[in-house]
Chain A
């Protein structure tokens, strides 16, 4: 089983709202990732968690706040987003670094 699940599938929020994206995997993977993907573009790495610790932050604005409550869960907390933050947010996981990353279906986010 190589399934990564993400909720919600779609999210519409205003610029003053606070919302959270959720990601879950039960493959025993120790690395989890958040990517942002704009239309017709490749995914762009935002954050990497390794063994539940933040390993990489690709200079992401502080209005995006990641959290890894345990080895199976990854959250992305959103606050005071801008319309240009509208995108597909993808979660991925891998057994370890430099290993195959498996992606979830994504959350389609629209910021009004």
Chain B
């Protein structure tokens, strides 16, 4: 079926280390990808996005990589901080209103 998924449901990372969160998708027609961060009791917060005509995009401390050959998306967080502890969702869109979300990865930052 067509879905967006994350490889691991949880990730524990030492403060100051880099984090990598992975996501696989199955629909080759997907052309827009977004990463959201959701802290406990809050709504999803936009982090970074990428369109299918790119393979890398950088923001502040975050980088998204898109590998269309293997249908893989990743989010890299540099120098992970305690405030980065949250659930991270990847989402994909096929040039319409619908966003398909992955299951989410819970990131815990160890002090």
Contact = CB atoms under 8 A, between A and B. Distances in A.
Contacts of B93: 98
A50 B93 CA distance: 16
A103 B45 contact: yes
Contacts, number: 55
Contacts of B46: 2, 100-103
B97 A50 contact: yes
Contacts of A41: 103-104
Interface in B58-111: 89, 93-99, 101-104
Interface in A1-39: 2, 4, 6, 31, 33
Contact of B43 (A50, A94, A98, A104): A104
Interface in A65-112: 90, 94, 97-98, 100-106, 108
Nearest to A105: B43
